[in-house]
Amino acid sequence: MEDTGRSGFTLVELLVTLAVAALLVTAAAPAMARFLDQARLRAATQALVQELRQARNHALSHQSRIHFSVAVRARRWCYGWRDDSACQCDSHAGAALCRTASDGRMHTQSSADFPAVQLSGNQHSTAPGVIFSPLRGTATATAFVLRNRYAVARVIVSPLGRIRVCSPGGQVYPSC
């Protein structure tokens, strides 16, 4: 006797499978958003650390004072550095002034590259920024805070010019 039943899935089985898949995607969406925001915060923090280290190395190798400037306006921010004097990265014309005399390269970064990440400088300073000295790479001590809706990262510049990163509560980086 032959089995004349058809093989395949019924409509009810397909609808149940789709409902379970939709439930799993809905549950995973907040975790994915959190992961992406933390990745953006890590990328912004690493970009800031890289520019700070590059500015310090430039001060040492070219034996010149380097001014690392930060401009924060509402939710927009930028930073840049150059020798001689502070640069103004918050205007289009000013960003072109963030060039070093020795190599003519522009050294700026803006919040447009890191959406939803906020940057703030040291609250005790009227003009947030760092000056790196050519003498052993020493610096004006300061701290920068980067945050988004899920995490906070602090970039600390010591008087000796050392740059370290920490996170209050150890969310993204080691605890402060």
What pTM value is reported for the model? Answer: 0.79
| pLDDT tens for each residue of 74-96 | 778 888 888 877 777 765 554 55
Distance CA 48, CA 155 (A): 8
**CA proximity to 147, closest of 25, 48, 26, 3:** 48
Q: What phi and psi, each to the nearest 5 degrees, are found at residue 167?
A: -140, 120
* Cα separations in angstroms, 155 against 11, 150, 176: 56, 17, 10
Is there a domain that residue 137 lies in?
yes
Domain assignment present for 73:
yes
146 in any annotated domain: yes
Give the gyration radius of the chain's Cα atoms. 24
Is 32 inside a domain boundary? Answer: yes
Give the type of residue at 63.
Q
Q: Which of 63-67, 90-94, 120-124, 148-152 has the lowest mean pLDDT?
A: 90-94
Is residue 151 domain-resident? yes
pLDDT of residue 23: 87
Q: Is residue 118 part of a domain?
A: yes
Residue 103 CA to residue 99 CA, distance in Å, equals: 8
Host domain of residue 35? 11-170
Q: Quote the pLDDT of residue 126.
A: 54
pLDDT at 100: 65
Please enumerate in sequence order all residues whose Cβ is within 8 A of that of 72, keeping only pairs 6 or more positions apart, or say none: 119, 120, 121, 128
Q: Total structural domains in the chain?
A: 1
Q: How far is CA 169 from CA 14, 47, 85, 151, 166, in A?
A: 45, 22, 37, 9, 9
Per-residue pLDDT band for 157 (boundaries 50, 70, 90) equals: very high
Residue 152 lies in a domain: yes
pLDDT in tens, 33-70: 888 888 999 999 999 999 999 999 999 999 999 999 88
In a domain, 23, yes or no: yes
Section 151-160 average pLDDT: 94
Average pLDDT of the chain, as a whole number: 84
CATH number at residue 107: 3.55.40.10
